Amino acid sequence: MKMTKLRLRILVAACSAFLLSAPVRAEIDGSIWENDSTAASNATPGNLPVGAPDVTFSLAGTDIDFQSGSLYTIGEFLASGGATITSGAGEAGNTLDNTIFNITGSVSVTNGETFTAGHDDGLTFIIGTDTVIDAPGPTSFSPSTGTYTGPSGDFSFQLVYGECCGAPGDLELSGLALTSTPEPSSAVLMSSVLLALGFALRKRFARAAWRPVR
């Protein structure tokens, strides 16, 4: 019995230490589909292409700020904003024209907070279930401002951006208060620790229940 209690204490201590020290990330993730003029000219969540994206990327930091240059390629556009390509690096040299982006993350937001996005071409910006900016169609560079009307708190966000109709490409959205989430590897390890703790507790209680009364 003493050994069982000791093991449980070790597991609880390890679990607590892990929860306090587990690495987290405040990161924006994105997906890109190429060669779809219909989707790119109508940048809404409901118009995202079916199937796996051609390119995925991540962006550390609080600002989204991309501009195309003389090359007008996907890789040049992403590099301008400090993004890291996580899959589809071989597509980096392809044209930015007729691409649609789905950009996601998690933010802390308050009711009544306003956001301004600069874009060429269209975009839709959603926090939780509230559509903050609705400007999905092609345009020359212009700012669009919207107000968040949902409850205050931490919510996921989705930004759908479409680039069509030729150069240039431009997307800017700042002022995001990103919230952190556990690294995927940390989440797996956390689950393992919790499962081990639950199994040990279950085993101990089962033994106690079948212990004969003296």
Paired tokens of 83: 């993004």
Q: Is the pLDDT of residue 183 over 50?
A: no
Under the banding of pLDDT at 50, 70 and 90, the label for residue 181 is low
pLDDT at position 5 is 56
Q: State pLDDT tens for residues 75-92.
A: 999 999 999 999 999 999
Q: State pLDDT tens for residues 197-206.
A: 555 555 554 5
Q: Which of 86, 50, 70 is nearest to 184 (CA)?
A: 86
Q: 26-40 burial, b for 16+ CB within 10 Å, e for fewer?
A: bbbebbbbbebeebb
d(CA 106, CA 155): 6
Q: State pLDDT tens for residues 109-118.
A: 999 999 999 9
Cβ-contact 110, 152 below 8 angstroms: yes
Strands (E), the chain: 24-25, 27-33, 55-60, 64-67, 84-87, 99-109, 114-120, 123-127, 130-135, 142-147, 153-163, 170-173, 181-182
Percent of the chain at pLDDT above 70? 71
Domain borders along the chain are: 2-22+185-210, 24-181
d(CA 80, CA 92): 13
Average pLDDT, the chain: 83
Under the banding of pLDDT at 50, 70 and 90, the label for residue 175 is confident
Q: Once rounded to an integer, what is the mean pLDDT over residues 65-70? A: 96
pLDDT at position 206 is 52
Torsion angle defined by CA atoms of residues 25, 81, 145 and 132, in that order, rounded to the nearest 10 degrees: -40
pLDDT at position 187 is 43
* Residue of 209 and 153 predicted with greater confidence: 153
Phi (first) and psi of residue 117, to 5 degrees: -120, 135
Q: What is the pTM of this model?
A: 0.74
Under the banding of pLDDT at 50, 70 and 90, the label for residue 63 is confident
pLDDT at position 61 is 78
Q: State pLDDT tens for residues 7-33.
A: 556 555 555 454 444 444 458 999 999
| Topology of the domain comprising 24-181 | Jelly Rolls (2.60.120)
pLDDT at position 9 is 60
Q: In sequence order, what DSSP letters do the residues of 184-201 get, joined into one string?
A: HHHHHHHHHHHHHHHHHH
Q: Is the pLDDT of residue 121 over 90?
A: yes
